[in-house]
Each structure stands twice: as C-alpha cells, then as structure tokens.
C-alpha cells in the first residue's frame, strides 16, 4: 500500500469516528461538516481506485 492510499484510508477512518462522536453528542452542525468531509474522502478514494471497506457509520 502506498503512502497516499494509507493516508486516505486513515483520514476516512478518523472522519468516521468524528462523525459518530458528533452524532452521539447531538451536534447537528458538526454532523453535517463531518458527513461532507466523509463524502469528499470517499469520492476521492473512488476516483483513485482505492477500495474502502464497509463502514459502521
């Protein structure tokens, strides 16, 4: 796995965690921010052929 792929997957994992935390805390604004970031990261992964596993979020 190259550095780009590893970093991208790590960012996705971190963002999923942050999204989950925002949902648990009931912070609707932060949920929107984190969901947007996650959508962007997943799109970037798809554009570069990086397979992202199923997520719990």
pLDDT at 34: 98
Question: pLDDT in tens for each of the 57 residues of the chain?
Answer: 899 999 999 999 999 999 999 999 999 999 999 999 999 999 999 999 999 986 544
Contact 7, 52 (CB under 8 A): no
pLDDT at 54: 60
pLDDT at 53: 81
């Amino acid at each position: 796995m190259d550095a780009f792929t590893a970093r991208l997957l790590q960012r996705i994992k971190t963002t999923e965690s942050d999204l989950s935390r925002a949902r648990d805390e009931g912070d609707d604004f932060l949920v929107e921010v984190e969901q947007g970031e996650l959508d962007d990261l997943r799109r970037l992964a798809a554009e570069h052929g990086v397979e992202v596993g199923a997520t719990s979020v």
